[in-house]
Amino acid sequence: MVPMRPRSPDEEHRAATPLELFFDLVFVVAIAQAGSHLHHAIAGGHVAEGLLSYAMVFFAIWWAWMNFTWFASAYDPDDVPYRLAVFLQIVGSLILASGVSRAFDAHDFSIATYGYVVMRLGLVGQWLRAARSDPGRRGCDLRYAVGVAACQVGWVALLSLPRDAAHAGFLLLVAAELLVPAWAERKGATPWHPGHIAERYGLFTIIVLGESVLAASIAIQAATQAGHRGLGTIVVGGLLTVFSMWWLYFDHPMSGLLTSLPKAFLWGYGHFAIFASAAAVGAGLAVAVDHATGETTVDPVVAGSAVAVPVAIYLLCLWGLHVGLGSDLPTGAGLTPVAALLILAMPWTSQPVLLTGLLTAGLLGIKLVRRHRGIGGAPSRTSGGHTVRRGRARYRRTRRSDRGRWLR
């Protein structure tokens, strides 16, 4: 056991730890459960109920993961008590995953809530320990501990309310959870690392996109075993969509843009829709496969929308996040909203998945061609890393003055 000292935001070569990667891996179970049940809800014709349950469950997954990620970026002694506390949070994630079925099938969120509370109470202990070891930020750390603990009391109390009142209470508690960081950081900002945060979010993006890769592999398996000709276009369109979504996300490094507390909040909160929509694409591809093989009688427009809508949301939210953070986007970046609108019209065509994939890949291709011709925009992260280094240098120059100004 060592003191839980704050880590430096200027630390060189800061990367995700094996424990953080293990933590992410366990969340794959919960995400897979949520995506699978969303697939079955849409295929069964229960679209509204499925989307509502999916949004509620995914919020718990995303918020618990995000709070751990930002805490670990500021405090990570990697000693025995810290690892045991993280294991407790992992146990909560598994409990949450086991309650996803009841949340979708019976609208019973009791098990999922208990798992969420276990995860959050494990984090409360971490904040209390940080408050003890970091006198300079004790006020901020204690606010986190008190705010998170108070919200958990509210989640448990919510289980005793009737369904209609519980929905209103859910929205109130979501607002309370989202306000806790803003309230706590006013007392003294935690020393999160911008490069580390960007990497952690990128890793989680890969995880949620992995759900779509799994759906595409299932489609390939069904096509080869049953010989359904209609699945070929779904496989091609699904792969084009997933590959393009990955490329578009990592095309512009954003670690150098996290230069102030407001931008950090925009980055963190804005990723809810990105993560949720990316995972939902996998569920949509599974619905498209079911429709092509006759496993569901859902309307073709609904089946096509199950893919097109989350892809459009993903593109619009990613584009909006870049714009909000002041990213050096190419001059043709305004094509993204146009492409998203065109994708939303694809469910009324005969090949919605294939055309969605072609439009997404076309958007990526246009951006790459414009960059090759030198028409504005920043180089890709994979083209040498100079943008990342310049961003980190700019971050180091501005963080002290920016953070002090925003806190005041």
Distance (Å, rounded) from C-alpha 257 to C-alpha 327? 7
Q: What's the mean pLDDT in 340-345?
A: 96
CATH class, range 194-399: mainly alpha
Q: What's the mean pLDDT in 304-317?
A: 96
Domain ranges in the chain with CATH number 1.20.1410: 194-399
The predicted structure's pLDDT at residue 331: 55
Q: Which segment of 187-191, 270-274, 316-320 scores lowest on mean pLDDT? A: 187-191
Residues near 386 by beta carbon (within 8 Å), at least 6 away in sequence: 379
Residue 97 has pLDDT above 70, yes or no: yes
The predicted structure's pLDDT at residue 226: 65
Q: Which of 135, 143, 189 is nearest to 405 (CA)?
A: 189
Q: What angle do CA 268, 183, 63 make, to 5 degrees?
A: 35
What φ, ψ does residue 6 adopt, rounded to 5°? -70, 145
* Whole-model pTM over 0.75: yes
The predicted structure's pLDDT at residue 307: 95
The predicted structure's pLDDT at residue 264: 87
The predicted structure's pLDDT at residue 403: 46
Residue 50 has pLDDT above 60, yes or no: yes
The label of the residue with tokens 């949509």 reads: 284
pLDDT digits (tens, 9 = 90+) for 54-86: 999 999 999 999 999 999 999 999 999 999 999
